[in-house]
Amino acid sequence: MNLIEDIVAQTPELQRIRRDIHAHPELSFEETRTANLVADLLSQWGIPIHRGMGGTGVVGILKNGDAPRTVGLRADMDALPMTEANQFAHASRHPGVMHACGHDGHTTMLLGAAQELARTRRFDGTVVLIFQPAEEHGGGARVMMQDGLFERFPVEAVFGMHNMPGIPAGHFAASAGPVLASSNEFRVLVRGKGGHAAMPHLAVDPIPVVAQIVQGFQTIISRNRQPSEIAVISVTMIHAGDTPNVIPDTCELQGTVRTYTRETLDMVEQRMGEVAHGTAAAFGATCDFEFKRLYPATINHAHETAFAREVLRDLVGPERLITQTPIMAAEDFAFMLEQVPGSYCFIGNGEGAHRDTGHGQGPCLVHNTSYDFNDALLPVGASYLVRLAERWLTAPRTTSRRP
C-alpha cells in the first residue's frame, strides 16, 4: 500500500482521538462534544470553520491558491441508542449510547485527512470538510442541505466512506450505480370489534386480518414486483391485546420497505395500501395505512466512482479493490448524491480480530453491541481522502450525471 507516511506516523494520535470519541458517544443532533472536538482541532490546524449547519454540524473550508475548483469530503458523527457490551478501556461511558457503526472512525479519518491537507497544501482550490450529524436518525445530510450546505459551499463533487465488517481490513469496495437501498417505514392499524374470546362470532377479530395482510404483502414481492428489480418488505412488529380471553379492538403492524428505484417503491407503496384496505374490508374491519419515505437509495455516479477507483487502485493496489455488491441497508449520504455528483465507497473493517481484550461475545458487525472500529484503518482511510482531494483538484473538470 502507498499510504502517506506522515499520516501513518500520526496513527497513535488518530487512535487516541478515535477512542476518545468512542468513549463519549452522542445521539443524532446531540453531537455537541464531538462537534466541539472537531471544531477545536480544525481551528488548531488553521482551517476556518462554520458551525450550526444541521444543528450540530461542522463545516471546514480549506482553501489554497486561486483556482475555482472544489470538492467535498463527508463524515458522520452520531452514535446509536444501544448499550455497549465491550469492557475495554475506551468503551462507552454513556449508558444506552454506543458507537456501534464506526462513525467515530469515519470522523477521525476525515480529521486525519484535514490535518495533512492543511499541512502540505498540495492542491489548488477548495476542500469542503463536512462533519455531519444524525446519519442514524433524522437524516442529518438532508437537514444540512436544507440549511444551505451546497448553496453556501458549492462543490463539484462529494465523496463519502463507510467501514464494512467482513471485507478484509485495508480493502475497498467501490461501484457505480445503486450500492445501498432506500429506507422506508410503514404502519397499519386494523380496527375490528372486540369481544369475548369464547364468542368470536360476535366480534370482528383484527388479529387474523393482520395475519392475512402480512401474507398479502409478500405477494407484492413475489407477484407484483418485476423480477429484475430488488425489493424487500419486512414486517417487524405486531401488537395486539392485553389478556388471553379477550379479542382486542385493534391490531397494529409495522415494518420497513427497501428498494433501489423510485418506480418500484411507488408500486410497492400503492399495492401495500390496496392490500391492507382490501383485506380489512373483506373481513368486515377497517384500517389506517401510513407509509413514510425516509432515505432514498444511495446511487453512485459513474465518473466520480471511476475516479475514486483509480485513486484507490494506486493507493492500496488492484488486489485490494473489489466491486461492491449492493446491499439493502440505507444511508443518508443518498440525499447529497441526489443534489451533487459523487461516490460512496466501503473500507474493509475485517472480521473483528483487532478488538482489544474485553470485547463482548458477539460478532464485530455494525449495529452490534460488541462492535468496535478497526484503528488500523485510520491511516488508510485518511490517506485515501487526501489523495482523492488532491487529484480531484488537479484533474480536468468533468462530472457525470446520475446513472
% of residues, the chain, pLDDT over 90: 96
Same structural domain, 198 and 291: yes
Domain boundary among 278, 295, 312: 295
pLDDT of residue 400: 66
Q: Which domain holds residue 155?
A: 5-181+297-392
pLDDT of residue 401: 57
Residue 110 lies in a domain: yes
Residue 211's contacts (CB-CB under 8 Å, 6 or more residues apart) are none
Q: What is the pLDDT of residues 279-336, one digit of tens each?
A: 999 999 999 999 999 999 999 999 999 999 999 999 999 999 999 889 999 999 999 9
CATH number at residue 304: 3.40.630.10
What is the sign, positive or negative, of the torsion defined by CA atoms of 308, 108, 373, 328?
negative
Same structural domain, 177 and 206: no
Residue 332 lies in a domain: yes
How does residue 242 score in pLDDT terms, banded at 50, 70 and 90?
very high
Same structural domain, 310 and 387: yes
* Angle between helical axes of 32-44 and 103-120 (0-180°, round to 10): 20
How many structural domains comprise the chain? Answer: 2
How does residue 402 score in pLDDT terms, banded at 50, 70 and 90?
low
Q: What is the pLDDT of residues 134-186, one digit of tens each?
A: 999 999 999 999 999 999 999 999 999 999 999 999 999 999 999 999 999 99
- CA dist., res. 132 & res. 141, Å (int): 6
Residue 403 lies in a domain: no
Q: 135: which DSSP letter?
A: S
DSSP secondary structure string, 354-390?
A: TPPTT--SS-S-TT-TT----GGGHHHHHHHHHHHHH
Q: What is the pLDDT of residues 36-79, one digit of tens each?
A: 999 999 999 999 999 999 999 999 999 999 999 999 999 999 99
Same structural domain, 175 and 205: no
Residue 397 lies in a domain: no
What Å distances lie between residue 76 and 46, 126, 189, 192, 207, CA to CA? Answer: 22, 20, 35, 44, 41
Same structural domain, 302 and 377: yes
Domain boundary among 295, 317, 338: 295
Beta pairing, strands 125-132 & 70-76: parallel
Same structural domain, 86 and 157: yes
Domain boundary among 247, 273, 295: 295
Same structural domain, 65 and 128: yes
Please give the model's pTM, rounded to 2 decimal places. Answer: 0.94
Same structural domain, 151 and 102: yes
- Residue 395 pLDDT greater than 90, yes or no: no
Residue 79 lies in a domain: yes
Residue 400 lies in a domain: no
